[in-house]
Protein backbone atom coordinates (compact mmCIF):
# COMPACT_ATOMS: atom_id res chain seq x y z
CA UNK A 1 0.00 0.00 0.00
CA UNK A 2 1.49 3.36 -1.03
CA UNK A 3 2.41 5.74 1.75
CA UNK A 4 0.47 9.01 1.72
CA UNK A 5 2.41 12.28 1.85
CA UNK A 6 0.94 14.75 4.27
CA UNK A 7 0.58 18.47 3.71
CA UNK A 8 3.18 19.08 6.40
CA UNK A 9 5.72 16.96 4.55
CA UNK A 10 4.91 18.74 1.27
CA UNK A 11 5.39 22.08 2.98
CA UNK A 12 8.76 21.01 4.43
CA UNK A 13 9.86 19.79 0.99
CA UNK A 14 8.85 23.10 -0.58
CA UNK A 15 10.74 25.02 2.10
CA UNK A 16 13.88 22.93 1.49
CA UNK A 17 13.70 23.48 -2.27
CA UNK A 18 13.12 27.18 -1.74
CA UNK A 19 16.10 27.40 0.60
CA UNK A 20 18.37 25.58 -1.84
CA UNK A 21 17.20 27.84 -4.67
CA UNK A 22 18.02 30.90 -2.56
CA UNK A 23 21.49 29.55 -1.77
CA UNK A 24 22.21 28.78 -5.42
CA UNK A 25 21.07 32.26 -6.45
CA UNK A 26 23.19 33.87 -3.71
CA UNK A 27 26.26 31.82 -4.61
CA UNK A 28 25.88 32.60 -8.31
CA UNK A 29 25.78 36.30 -7.48
CA UNK A 30 28.66 36.25 -4.99
CA UNK A 31 31.05 33.62 -6.28
CA UNK A 32 33.71 36.18 -7.19
CA UNK A 33 34.23 37.61 -3.67
CA UNK A 34 33.99 34.08 -2.22
CA UNK A 35 36.69 32.85 -4.60
CA UNK A 36 38.79 35.90 -3.80
CA UNK A 37 38.45 35.23 -0.06
CA UNK A 38 39.47 31.60 -0.48
CA UNK A 39 42.42 32.74 -2.59
CA UNK A 40 43.53 35.18 0.11
CA UNK A 41 43.35 32.46 2.79
CA UNK A 42 45.39 30.08 0.62
CA UNK A 43 47.94 32.80 -0.15
CA UNK A 44 48.35 33.64 3.55
CA UNK A 45 48.77 29.95 4.40
CA UNK A 46 51.38 29.56 1.65
CA UNK A 47 53.29 32.66 2.79
CA UNK A 48 53.23 31.44 6.40
CA UNK A 49 54.54 28.03 5.33
CA UNK A 50 57.32 29.56 3.23
CA UNK A 51 58.23 31.90 6.10
CA UNK A 52 58.49 28.91 8.44
CA UNK A 53 60.81 27.13 6.02
CA UNK A 54 62.93 30.27 5.61
CA UNK A 55 63.09 30.90 9.35
CA UNK A 56 64.09 27.29 10.07
CA UNK A 57 66.79 27.43 7.41
CA UNK A 58 68.03 30.79 8.72
CA UNK A 59 68.19 29.38 12.25
CA UNK A 60 70.28 26.45 11.03
CA UNK A 61 72.69 28.78 9.22
CA UNK A 62 72.95 30.96 12.33
CA UNK A 63 73.69 27.94 14.54
CA UNK A 64 76.37 26.74 12.13
CA UNK A 65 78.01 30.17 11.99
CA UNK A 66 77.95 30.42 15.78
CA UNK A 67 79.49 26.97 16.18
CA UNK A 68 82.30 27.89 13.79
CA UNK A 69 83.04 31.00 15.85
CA UNK A 70 83.03 29.02 19.12
CA UNK A 71 85.52 26.50 17.71
CA UNK A 72 87.82 29.35 16.66
CA UNK A 73 87.51 30.88 20.13
CA UNK A 74 87.91 27.75 22.24
CA UNK A 75 90.35 25.92 19.99
CA UNK A 76 90.08 22.61 18.19
CA UNK A 77 91.11 20.62 21.27
CA UNK A 78 89.88 22.66 24.24
CA UNK A 79 88.76 19.70 26.39
CA UNK A 80 90.39 19.86 29.82
CA UNK A 81 91.61 23.44 29.40
CA UNK A 82 90.91 26.11 31.99
CA UNK A 83 91.09 28.85 29.39
CA UNK A 84 90.15 28.88 25.70
CA UNK A 85 93.09 27.92 23.53
CA UNK A 86 91.84 29.34 20.24
CA UNK A 87 92.28 32.70 18.56
CA UNK A 88 90.06 35.29 20.29
CA UNK A 89 90.91 38.00 17.75
CA UNK A 90 89.81 35.84 14.83
CA UNK A 91 86.80 34.60 16.79
CA UNK A 92 85.75 38.18 17.54
CA UNK A 93 85.46 38.90 13.81
CA UNK A 94 83.22 35.87 13.30
CA UNK A 95 81.09 36.61 16.37
CA UNK A 96 80.54 40.16 15.11
CA UNK A 97 79.53 38.76 11.72
CA UNK A 98 76.99 36.46 13.39
CA UNK A 99 75.56 39.45 15.25
CA UNK A 100 75.44 41.51 12.05
CA UNK A 101 73.74 38.76 10.03
CA UNK A 102 71.38 37.38 12.69
CA UNK A 103 71.03 40.31 15.08
CA UNK A 104 67.68 39.45 16.70
CA UNK A 105 68.16 35.71 17.13
CA UNK A 106 69.27 33.63 20.11
CA UNK A 107 72.36 32.65 18.15
CA UNK A 108 73.35 36.30 17.81
CA UNK A 109 72.84 36.80 21.54
CA UNK A 110 75.06 33.79 22.27
CA UNK A 111 77.65 35.48 20.05
CA UNK A 112 77.27 38.59 22.23
CA UNK A 113 77.85 36.42 25.32
CA UNK A 114 81.13 35.11 23.91
CA UNK A 115 82.07 38.59 22.76
CA UNK A 116 81.59 39.81 26.34
CA UNK A 117 83.94 37.05 27.53
CA UNK A 118 86.56 38.18 25.03
CA UNK A 119 86.24 41.76 26.29
CA UNK A 120 86.47 40.53 29.89
CA UNK A 121 89.64 38.54 29.19
CA UNK A 122 91.18 41.67 27.64
CA UNK A 123 90.28 43.76 30.67
CA UNK A 124 87.64 45.71 28.74
CA UNK A 125 85.15 45.43 31.59
CA UNK A 126 82.87 48.29 30.54
CA UNK A 127 82.28 46.77 27.10
CA UNK A 128 81.74 43.34 28.64
CA UNK A 129 79.33 44.72 31.24
CA UNK A 130 77.23 46.53 28.65
CA UNK A 131 76.78 43.35 26.61
CA UNK A 132 75.99 41.20 29.65
CA UNK A 133 73.48 43.64 31.12
CA UNK A 134 71.69 43.80 27.78
CA UNK A 135 71.51 40.00 27.64
CA UNK A 136 70.12 39.70 31.17
CA UNK A 137 67.42 42.22 30.30
CA UNK A 138 66.40 40.46 27.08
CA UNK A 139 66.61 36.93 28.45
CA UNK A 140 65.20 37.06 31.96
CA UNK A 141 63.92 33.49 32.10
CA UNK A 142 66.12 31.39 29.83
CA UNK A 143 69.58 29.86 29.64
CA UNK A 144 71.19 32.78 27.82
CA UNK A 145 70.09 35.18 30.53
CA UNK A 146 71.38 32.89 33.28
CA UNK A 147 74.75 32.43 31.60
CA UNK A 148 75.00 36.21 31.22
CA UNK A 149 74.10 36.60 34.91
CA UNK A 150 76.89 34.20 35.89
CA UNK A 151 79.43 36.02 33.74
CA UNK A 152 78.27 39.34 35.18
CA UNK A 153 78.81 37.91 38.68
CA UNK A 154 82.37 36.91 37.73
CA UNK A 155 82.98 40.37 36.32
CA UNK A 156 81.72 42.07 39.47
CA UNK A 157 83.82 39.82 41.71
CA UNK A 158 86.90 40.71 39.65
CA UNK A 159 85.97 44.38 40.11
CA UNK A 160 86.04 44.00 43.90
CA UNK A 161 82.30 43.71 44.52
CA UNK A 162 82.43 40.27 46.16
CA UNK A 163 80.48 41.36 49.25
CA UNK A 164 77.57 42.67 47.18
CA UNK A 165 77.62 39.53 45.05
CA UNK A 166 77.50 37.29 48.13
CA UNK A 167 74.37 39.06 49.35
CA UNK A 168 72.69 38.66 45.96
CA UNK A 169 73.64 34.99 45.68
CA UNK A 170 72.31 34.34 49.18
CA UNK A 171 69.02 35.91 48.09
CA UNK A 172 68.98 33.61 45.07
CA UNK A 173 69.56 30.59 47.31
CA UNK A 174 66.50 31.37 49.44
CA UNK A 175 64.42 32.28 46.39
CA UNK A 176 63.92 35.99 47.04
CA UNK A 177 66.00 36.86 43.96
CA UNK A 178 65.10 34.94 40.78
CA UNK A 179 68.40 35.65 39.03
CA UNK A 180 69.71 32.07 39.18
CA UNK A 181 68.38 28.66 40.20
CA UNK A 182 69.18 27.58 43.75
CA UNK A 183 71.69 24.91 42.73
CA UNK A 184 73.69 27.29 40.51
CA UNK A 185 73.68 29.98 43.20
CA UNK A 186 75.00 27.45 45.73
CA UNK A 187 77.78 26.49 43.36
CA UNK A 188 78.75 30.11 42.70
CA UNK A 189 78.85 30.81 46.45
CA UNK A 190 81.13 27.82 46.97
CA UNK A 191 83.44 28.98 44.20
CA UNK A 192 83.45 32.53 45.53
CA UNK A 193 84.39 31.49 49.06
CA UNK A 194 87.06 29.15 47.67
CA UNK A 195 88.57 32.08 45.78
CA UNK A 196 88.35 34.16 48.96
CA UNK A 197 90.43 31.53 50.80
CA UNK A 198 87.54 30.46 52.99
CA UNK A 199 87.43 26.69 52.36
CA UNK A 200 85.27 25.91 55.37
CA UNK A 201 82.44 28.16 54.19
CA UNK A 202 82.93 26.97 50.63
CA UNK A 203 82.71 23.36 51.79
CA UNK A 204 79.37 24.01 53.46
CA UNK A 205 77.86 25.27 50.22
CA UNK A 206 79.36 22.48 48.12
CA UNK A 207 78.15 19.85 50.58
CA UNK A 208 74.67 21.36 50.60
CA UNK A 209 74.72 21.36 46.81
CA UNK A 210 75.73 17.69 46.65
CA UNK A 211 73.12 16.69 49.22
CA UNK A 212 70.20 18.62 47.73
CA UNK A 213 70.99 18.20 44.04
CA UNK A 214 72.50 14.76 43.40
CA UNK A 215 71.97 15.23 39.65
CA UNK A 216 74.19 18.34 39.53
CA UNK A 217 77.19 17.70 37.27
CA UNK A 218 80.54 18.96 38.53
CA UNK A 219 83.65 19.53 36.45
CA UNK A 220 86.83 20.65 38.17
CA UNK A 221 90.55 20.28 37.40
CA UNK A 222 92.22 22.71 39.80
CA UNK A 223 94.43 20.59 42.05
CA UNK A 224 94.34 23.30 44.72
CA UNK A 225 90.61 22.68 45.21
CA UNK A 226 91.19 19.03 46.04
CA UNK A 227 94.16 19.87 48.26
CA UNK A 228 92.07 22.36 50.23
CA UNK A 229 89.26 19.82 50.56
CA UNK A 230 91.69 17.18 51.82
CA UNK A 231 93.11 19.58 54.40
CA UNK A 232 89.97 21.29 55.66
CA UNK A 233 87.08 18.95 54.85
CA UNK A 234 88.08 15.28 54.32
CA UNK A 235 84.41 14.27 54.37
CA UNK A 236 83.75 16.44 51.34
CA UNK A 237 86.71 14.89 49.54
CA UNK A 238 85.18 11.46 50.16
CA UNK A 239 81.87 12.74 48.80
CA UNK A 240 83.70 13.96 45.70
CA UNK A 241 85.27 10.51 45.31
CA UNK A 242 81.82 8.90 45.47
CA UNK A 243 80.44 11.25 42.84
CA UNK A 244 83.49 10.58 40.68
CA UNK A 245 82.72 6.86 40.90
CA UNK A 246 79.07 7.56 40.00
CA UNK A 247 80.09 9.58 36.94
CA UNK A 248 78.73 12.84 38.39
CA UNK A 249 82.10 14.53 38.82
CA UNK A 250 84.80 15.02 36.20
CA UNK A 251 88.41 15.82 37.04
CA UNK A 252 88.65 18.32 34.22
CA UNK A 253 87.31 21.74 33.29
CA UNK A 254 87.09 24.21 30.47
CA UNK A 255 86.24 27.90 30.35
CA UNK A 256 83.25 28.45 32.68
CA UNK A 257 82.16 24.90 31.95
CA UNK A 258 80.52 24.00 35.25
CA UNK A 259 77.42 26.15 35.14
CA UNK A 260 77.29 26.17 31.35
CA UNK A 261 76.70 22.41 31.53
CA UNK A 262 74.22 22.47 34.39
CA UNK A 263 72.14 25.29 32.90
Are the CB atoms for 62 and 99 separated by under 8 Å? no
Q: The whole model's pTM is what?
A: 0.68
Residue ranges covered by each domain of the chain = 46-74+84-159, 162-216, 217-262
Taking residues 132-158, what's their average pLDDT? 93
| Higher pLDDT among residues 34 and 85, named by residue | 85
DSSP helix, strand, coil percent of the chain (3-state; round to 5): 75, 0, 25
What pLDDT is attached to residue 236? 72
What pLDDT is attached to residue 40? 67
Provide, rounded to the nearest whole percent, the portion of the chain with pLDDT above 70.
67
At residue 220, the 3 state secondary structure works out as coil
| Higher pLDDT among residues 77 and 167, named by residue | 167
Strand partners, 250: 219
First CA to last CA distance, the chain:
83
b or e along 20-32 (b: 16 or more beta carbons within 10 Å of the residue's beta carbon)? eeeeeeeeeeeee
- Residue 41 CB: number of other CB atoms within 10 A? 10
86-123 residue pLDDT tens: 899 999 999 999 999 998 899 999 999 999 999 999 99
Q: Which CATH class is domain 46-74+84-159?
A: mainly alpha
235-259 residue pLDDT tens: 777 777 777 777 766 665 444 444 4
Amino acid sequence: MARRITRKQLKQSDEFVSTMDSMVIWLSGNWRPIAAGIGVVCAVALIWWLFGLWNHSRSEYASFALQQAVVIYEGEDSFGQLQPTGDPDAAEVVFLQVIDDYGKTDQADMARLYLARIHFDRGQTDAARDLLVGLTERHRDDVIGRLATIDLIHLRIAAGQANEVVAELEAMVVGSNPGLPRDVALYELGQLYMAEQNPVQAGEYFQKLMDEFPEFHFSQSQASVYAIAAQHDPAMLKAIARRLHEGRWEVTASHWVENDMNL
